Amino acid sequence: MKSRPQKRVTAESRAKEKSASPGGRPKGTEKTLNRQTVVAAALEEIDRGGLEAFSVRNVAKRLGVYPTAVAWHAASRGQLLADVVTLALVDVRPPGFHDSWQGYLRQTFHRFREAVRRHPNIAPLIGTQMLANPTVELEFIEGLLASLHHAGFSGTRLVAAYNAVLAAIVGFTAQEFAPLPPEQTSQWQEEMRERLAGVQRVRYPLLADNMKLLGNKAFTLRWQNGSEAPLDASFEAFIEIFIAGLERFRSVG
Amino acid sequence: MKSRPQKRVTAESRAKEKSASPGGRPKGTEKTLNRQTVVAAALEEIDRGGLEAFSVRNVAKRLGVYPTAVAWHAASRGQLLADVVTLALVDVRPPGFHDSWQGYLRQTFHRFREAVRRHPNIAPLIGTQMLANPTVELEFIEGLLASLHHAGFSGTRLVAAYNAVLAAIVGFTAQEFAPLPPEQTSQWQEEMRERLAGVQRVRYPLLADNMKLLGNKAFTLRWQNGSEAPLDASFEAFIEIFIAGLERFRSVG
DNA sequence: ACCTGAACACCGTTCAAGT
DNA sequence: ACCTGAACACCGTTCAAGT
């Protein structure tokens, strides 16, 4: 239980910290640790070695300080991970103006996926740490609400549509880039392929008949994740399915 | 790196183990540990204390054995967690026959959500451990493929539709039941409410105007998760949005 | 085959002490 | 305010030894 005051990481506070380098020292050569420096180092650590390799102590090693120095800025391991997600998802909100709400949603889906693609090892966190994360940018949420409002949703249907967008966007990307089991991957891959090759047509006709199309291209039937075998076609289809569903949902009820 | 032989947990192997209680001893009083006993104990441990409390050593304590005895059956912590997800999601496949593919999908969505509701603390795992989990039941996959085939999908569009179903179903439930930050929850809840109450209408008009509807009912704007504040209405809407989208996707391209 | 028991190299977080 | 340094109660997994 920390009683120490903790600043929130928001777009504003982050910009403020950046410009407030004490004594006018050049930005790149800060002698003291920032909260943003620590979070950035944590993200680098995860990018390099995955969540398995991540630890407060490793981040400290990367920064050349004692583990307790990291703890001072990060408050807790959980909070640090939440901040890492926020950092990785910065700038997902589509910039500029848009002609249609469908176009805005398509861009949001694509930009979100690109953000996860840049930091695939955070995939297991986005479903977990975003939900109840006060550090998530309100601009992103307001942008989604605006596009859905423009589509004609209001009241409880606006809430439902918003939840549907987040469920869809997080569900696809989290699974697409989820890590493979680390225990000797190549061996596991071989097992997976053998198992799929041995599927009996009698019991699983559709699986067997479509195995060539499904293998490594369908969730739970893959031996590589989105970093090595991206599901581009399925993602595009998913966006169109979802938007078509929203268009329909708009006109019923 | 274990070279020891590891059995796969499938519907078949599980049934086999069950019926093969050595020496005809009554089922409840096995003296030796099973793989299924260990997995069940792990799930109980997670149900009780969440993923934070989970450890191989705690499971061992629960079973009254040394940590290394658990390790012998579980191969690794990661594999144990994967098996836990498989156990929690057993029987999600809708039973019996169905009049329409839409009805089958609706049931699948509901049954999946009920399974997660029964074990909400596994929510962070379902997006991570299902994707590439060879222990996931092929019956579940075949069932989904059958309903989508019945809807008229085949080839690459069948693959896309299947991926869309899993993305949707996992995305909603994983987020709905994702755990709140453990660090003194009530204090965090207060912070969250204050932050949402203080949203400026000038910058975030839609957020501000709909805060009463959104608060605790929309992803990233909640201070409770699905166990305490279920998102029933949004879930029902989500299902209809998604199915309507599939119906549309069927007739284009 | 299955478990004990000790051991190894970690881990997050605390607390007191320095500056 | 920010960091060192030692310490605490853990952790997953190994290995050798028992039965």
For the stretch B208-251, pLDDT in tens is: 999 999 999 999 998 889 999 999 999 999 999 999 999 999 98
Question: Which tokens sit at A105?
Answer: 């949603």
Averaged pLDDT for residues A120-144: 82
Spatial CB neighbours of A152, under 8 Å, sequence gap ≥ 6: A250
CATH T-level fold of B101-251: Tetracycline Repressor; domain 2 (1.10.357)
Q: Taking a contact as any Cβ pair under 8 Å apart, which residues of chain A between 32 and 71 contact chain B?
A: none
Domain B16-74 matches domain B101-251 at the CATH topology level: no
Q: In a 3-state reduction of DSSP, which class is residue A121?
A: helix
For the stretch B173-195, pLDDT in tens is: 999 999 987 655 677 777 778 88
Question: Which residues from chain A sit within 8 angstroms of residue B214, using beta carbons?
Answer: 159, 162
Question: Which tokens sit at B153?
Answer: 């999908």
How far, in Å, CA of B229 to CA of B117, rounded? 11
Question: Which tokens sit at B194?
Answer: 């204050």
Q: Of the candidates B101, B113, B57, B142, which has an alpha carbon nearest to the alpha carbon of residue B243?
A: B101
Question: Which residues from chain B sit within 8 angstroms of residue A219, using beta carbons?
Answer: 130-131, 162-163, 166-167
Are A139 and A91 a contacting pair, CB within 8 Å?
A: no
For the stretch A75-84, pLDDT in tens is: 899 999 999 9
Range among B93-97, B131-135, B174-178 rated most confident: B174-178
How far, in Å, CA of A230 to CA of A219, rounded? 11
For the stretch A86-123, pLDDT in tens is: 999 999 999 977 889 999 999 999 999 999 999 999 99
**More confident position, A162 or B6:** A162
Spatial CB neighbours of A94, under 8 Å, sequence gap ≥ 6: A104, A107, A108, A111, A143
Q: What is the pLDDT of residue A151?
A: 97
- Confidence band, pLDDT 50/70/90 cuts, at residue B33: confident
Rounded to the nearest 10 degrees, what angle do helices A156-176 and B155-176 cross at? 110
Q: What is the pLDDT of residue B137?
A: 80
- Nearest nt to the CA of A70 via C1' is D3
Strand C atom within 7 Å of A2 CB: yes
Domain limits, chain B: 16-74, 101-251
Q: In a 3-state reduction of DSSP, which class is residue A247?
A: helix
* CB contact B159 to A (< 8 Å): yes
How far, in Å, CA of B149 to CA of A199, rounded? 18
* CB contact B228 to A (< 8 Å): no
- Chain A 54-113 residues whose Cβ is under 7 Å from strand C: 54-58, 67-68, 71, 74, 76-78
Average pLDDT taken over every residue of chain B: 85
Q: Taking a contact as any Cβ pair under 8 Å apart, which residues of chain B between 121 and 140 contact chain A?
A: 123-124, 127-128, 130-134, 136, 138
Architecture of domain B16-74: Orthogonal Bundle (1.10)
In chain B, what percentage of residues exceed pLDDT 90? 68
Strand D atom within 7 Å of B103 CB: no
Question: Which residues from chain A sit within 8 angstroms of residue B141, using beta carbons?
Answer: 204, 207, 220-221
Question: Which residues from chain B sit within 8 angstroms of residue A134, using beta carbons?
Answer: 191-192, 195
Q: Is A215 exposed, middle or buried (0-12, 13-18, 19+ CB in 10 A)?
A: middle
